[in-house]
Structure 1
């Protein structure tokens, strides 16, 4: 006798970890991008009746707010809320299956506990390192014009910066940059710089400035 199909309600029908038959998100680049945003400016609340994934996006970057909203819907969310805070918007979605997709959640700040990707997450990031970096740099990074003076002459050149207190998250950023062959260096304990012309150009193709 055939077994009845499982009854899936809400986000359960879209969880590619619990139900592999549904496949990865419709847009395969959405998950690594959202993972990068989550590791930077997001957190997952699991103490409520239904878990809440929340990413804080500065008011100064309206396109980033839209991109985060789109990524959540592409990955799992049926509905996304935007809660205005002082100087930022909390882009959030409730769903019982968010913890399946972000197993790095836990009590306390990210830099005070280990952040390690699972094998299946590393496989996704390895396939789409540029989208993962886009999420990291859109959350805790920036593209700036660096000014230097050499022998009395001023020069301006573009530079990417990524700042994060977690050594594990910084290591993931370095790993993704290495996968793309993009040169980087640590200019401080918690700060990574991409400044070589060819490296900046390569990162422009994957990240680009916030907007």
Structure 2
């Protein structure tokens, strides 16, 4: 179990390092834009995310478990100077090393950002939307028989959770001339709307107190 998690987190460390290098290059070569910039944005977004939530379950190994996850998301980004839409097409997160259970999350998301100071180099914004998470559980805790802990953890089942999200962030314009490159960071809170389970074992397993923090880039064409 731990060897798998170490390999996963090693791969994440490499990707995070590459992402940091890309951000550094953009910051060094891009020209900060001080005047107001108006226009329509069409492009994409990539981000790294950290997420925290609490599980409630009739499964003793999961009940009350505080989960911290790390991963990334890629999607689309478009809109005008005041209102912009973001759609997360592909998202994948893994349990951090301090979490004793293996839980992988596949996510899709859609939301709208409202910019309080549109067209500036620093653009604070409010955000709201919907996120759908599929949490996939692996482990040996549903098996009452003695198991070989050195074997790969089997897949146990999954739950799907739909949350309404709201929060805020700030977007920094690194480039705003015909093309745009924006660095952003944001924090969001999730409120449960709907949930379902793949099998009877996880019917009473739910997610609550979901907090999401993201850091990434939005880039594309400015018209």
Instruction: Please report the TM-score for the alignment, with normalisation by the length of structure 1.
Output: 0.23
More strand by share: 2
Q: Structure 2 length as normaliser, TM-score?
A: 0.22
Q: Normalized per residue, which structure has more helix?
A: 1
